[in-house]
Structure 1
Amino acid sequence: MTTPVIELRDVRRAYDDGPPALHDASLTVLPGEAVAILGPSGSGKSTLLNLIAGLDRPDSGTVTVAGVRVDRLGEAASARYRRAKIGMVFQFFNLLDDLTVADNVVLPAQLAGMARAEARKRAAELLGALGVDRHADTYPGRLSGGERQRVAVARALVNRPPLLLADEPTGALDSASGEEVSALLAELNADGQTIVVVTHDLALAKSCTTRTIRLVDGHVDDDLTAGTAR
């Protein structure tokens, strides 16, 4: 039996006195899947992402990612978990403008304890594979949005994480750059990378994922293939 990369069971998370951001949410993602999490603002998408990434804890229920009980981790262990198990791509790239492209990619590898020479080699391989190796010594501010997002993907993959999380990865890009990044995510998944994309964009979900999960008012409303999502 295949062990899931992500397994959430009966997860609840509430803030202050408002309604729960997530309520009795259960979700399983298998290795090699590309899953889109869709839903309007306030549906629980960000909360779900933060729980999977170990940035937040549920009030009840369990969160297991790549064999790790994420809901049981303390702050230091959560940081180690993210370095080893999770690659994250954000809407606004979150690159460090005072570091070169290569140094941005190398940084998480060195924080995880990878030898500098090995980290440099891995970064060069990724930048080449993603078509931005010519910018290795350039600072991020000189790149286009699409190029910066490719660098961000390289940084996310440098530690070979079993799971790539993408939070609105095309939200800050023009249409052409967005299509390039969407195609890149599809290519990565075709090569076996497990991906979860959190988005409100159904077109993105259809173009780079094979399964769509809709959140409504904090619970899973639909679990469909991207091609049949409503």
Structure 2
Amino acid sequence: MTTPLIELCEVSRKYDDGPPALHDTSLTVRAGEAVAILGPSGSGKSTLLNLIAGLDRPDTGTVTVDGVRVDGLGEAASARYRRDRIGMVFQFFNLLDDLTVADNVVLSAQLAGMPRGEARRRAAELLGTLGVDRHARAYPGRLSGGERQRVAVARALMNRPPLLLADEPTGALDSASGEEVGALLTDLNADGQTIVVVTHDPALARSCTSRTVRLVDGRITEDVRPEAVR
């Protein structure tokens, strides 16, 4: 058995005086898996993603990703961890409107210290692979929602992260664009990219992942793996 890429062990997280957002949650994800985290609003999906990304810390339990104890990192180390090991795709793209498409994609690599020429070549390669290279000199506001999400995926992949996290990646898209992004995630996983998708959309989960984890009231109530559906 290989070491899991992601391992959450008895993780709990509570905010203020409300019920726990996550309660004694344990989860492992192996390299190369594509996993969908499903559940209604308030089920703990975003909290789970934020803990994996090092944007939040559990009250109890441990979070280990790619051999790093994420729950024990300080602020600077958390930023380096996300830069080097995590690619993130968001519902509303989070692109910088005053930068061109190419500059948006290059930015994360430059922050990581990649030489400018190498970063430009890497960005051009990704934009070409994702079918948006013709927009390299355009600004994000001129692109469709589906095109902006492809640019966001290119940015997320710039530093070759072992893990891609997608938070409602089709939530702001029309159905056709959503299907395109789902197909893109499927292709990335087929090439070996480990992906965790948080979504409320079972159709997206079916289209681009092979394992679904369902959260209800901060607890995992269902974990359907490929072998369980053959």
- Displacement of 1:61 in angstroms is 0.3
8 Å CA contact retained: 1:210, 1:227: no
CA change 1:171–1:227 in 2 (3 A) is: farther
Partner of 1:202: 202
Equivalent position SS for 2:11: strand
Matched, 1:95 2:88: no
RMSD: 1.2
CA–CA distance in 2 between the matches of 1:226 and 1:152?
28
CA–CA distance in 2 between the matches of 1:50 and 1:226?
25
Post-superposition Cα deviations, 1:38-66, rounded to whole Å, max 9, x if no partner, equal 00011000100100000000001000011
Equivalent position SS for 1:28: strand
CA–CA distance in 2 between the matches of 1:96 and 1:72?
31
Equivalent position SS for 1:84: helix
- Displacement of 1:226 in angstroms is 7.3
Matched, 1:164 2:160: no
Partner of 1:49: 49
Partner of 2:134: 134
Matched, 1:18 2:51: no
CA–CA distance in 1 between the matches of 2:226 and 2:117?
41
Q: Identity percentage over the alignment?
A: 83
- Displacement of 1:4 in angstroms is 1.0
Equivalent position SS for 2:96: coil
Partner of 2:111: 111
Matching residue's letter, 2:220? V
Partner of 1:153: 153
8 Å CA contact retained: 1:212, 1:226: no
- Displacement of 1:19 in angstroms is 0.9
Partner of 2:9: 9
| Count of aligned pairs between the two proteins | 229
CA–CA distance in 2 between the matches of 1:49 and 1:224?
19
TM-score, reference length from structure 2: 0.98
Partner of 1:63: 63
Matching residue's letter, 1:69? R
CA–CA distance in 2 between the matches of 1:198 and 1:105?
23
8 Å CA contact retained: 1:9, 1:25: yes
Equivalent position SS for 1:165: strand
- Displacement of 1:5 in angstroms is 1.0
CA–CA distance in 2 between the matches of 1:115 and 1:59?
39
CA–CA distance in 2 between the matches of 1:188 and 1:68?
24
